Amino acid sequence: NAGVMQNPRHLVRRRGQEARLRCSPMKGHSHVYWYRQLPEEGLKFMVYLQKENIIDESGMPKERFSAEFPKEGPSILRIQQVVRGDSAAYFCASSSGTGGQDTQYFGPGTRLTVL
Amino acid sequence: AQTVTQSQPEMSVQEAETVTLSCTYDTSESDYYLFWYKQPPSRQMILVIRQEAYKQQNATENRFSVNFQKAAKSFSLKISDSQLGDAAMYFCAYRRYSGNTPLVFGKGTRLSVIA
C-alpha cells in the first residue's frame, strides 16, 4: 500500500515562471492538505481539499497560488509567476476523512528553489 | 487562533540517555489532539505519537512517551534510551477535535544524538 506520493521531489524555477506540484494521496484517502515549510520554520497550513472541492484555503496567499483536486488524478498546487520568497518545501498530507480521529499522513515533500 | 510554541531550538543527548522536548500551546477549546512529528534529514514527516486531550492517560509508543498537562497546556516528549537514528527535527502539532481540520505546528526542536 503506497504512501502519499509527491512529485517532483525537487523543482527549480526562474523568477516569473510557473511551478506545478503534484500530490497523490494514499489509497482510499479523499482528503488532501497542503503545507509550506520555509527554512528553519515549522509547517504552515495552506489549503485543504476534498475531491473536486476546496474546503479551506485560509492559509493560501490570495494571489498567484491555486490548488485543485480533480475527480481523477492527483491534487495540484500551482504557483504562478514565482518569486524568490516562494522557495520552500511544500508538503501534502492525506487522510481518509473519517472525522475527529483521522490521522494525516505526509508525503516526502517537494523542494522548490526559485533562482 | 491556536498557537504552538517550542522553546528549545536545539537539544542534544548522549546515546542511550533520556531527553525531554518541550511544547506549550494556546487554545480556548477543551477537546483537541496533540502530536509529535519527526523530520529526519530526508525531510519526510513521520508521526511519532498522538494524544487525545480528553484522555488523562499519557500516550506511549515504545521508547517515546509524553507528559500531557492539560491545565498548563503543556505537551512534552520524552525519548528514552536515545539512539543515533533519533537525530532529527521534532515538531509539536495541534489539531482541533471536530471535523477534518489542519494541523498547527511549532517551529521545531533539532535533536542531536552524541555517540
Share of chain B above pLDDT 70, in %: 100
What does the pLDDT look like over B31-80, one tens digit per residue? 999 999 999 988 889 999 999 998 889 999 999 999 999 999 999 999 99
Contact at CB, B44 and A105, closer than 8 angstroms: no
Q: Three-class SS of residue A85?
A: helix
Per-residue pLDDT of chain A (115 residues; tens, 9 = 90+): 578 999 999 999 999 999 999 999 999 899 999 999 998 888 999 999 998 899 999 999 999 999 999 999 999 999 999 999 999 999 999 998 776 567 889 999 999 999 9
What is the model's pLDDT at position B56? 84
b/e string for B49-82 if b means 16 or more Cβ within 10 A?
Answer: bbbbbeeeeebeeeebbbebeeeebebbbbbeeb
What does the pLDDT look like over B84-96, one tens digit per residue? 999 999 999 999 8
Q: A interface mutation test: which of B2, B35, B42, B45 has the most A CBs within 10 A?
A: B45
What is the model's pLDDT at position A4? 94
Question: How buried is A63 (Cβ within 10 angstroms: 0-12 exposed, 13-18 middle, 19+ buried)?
Answer: exposed
What is the model's pLDDT at position A99? 61
Between these two residues, A101 and B108, which has the higher pLDDT value? Answer: B108
Contact at CB, B100 and A59, closer than 8 angstroms: no
Average pLDDT of the residues in B7-21: 97
Q: Least CB-CB distance to B102: which of A56, A97, A111?
A: A56
What is the model's pLDDT at position A42? 87
Contacts of B107 in chain A (CB under 8 A): 40-42
Residue B111: CA atoms inside 13 Å, Cβ hemisphere, count? Answer: 29
Share of chain B above pLDDT 90, in %: 85
Inter-CA distances, A95 with A1, A70, B11, B40, B105, Å = 14, 16, 32, 22, 17
What is the model's pLDDT at position A101? 62
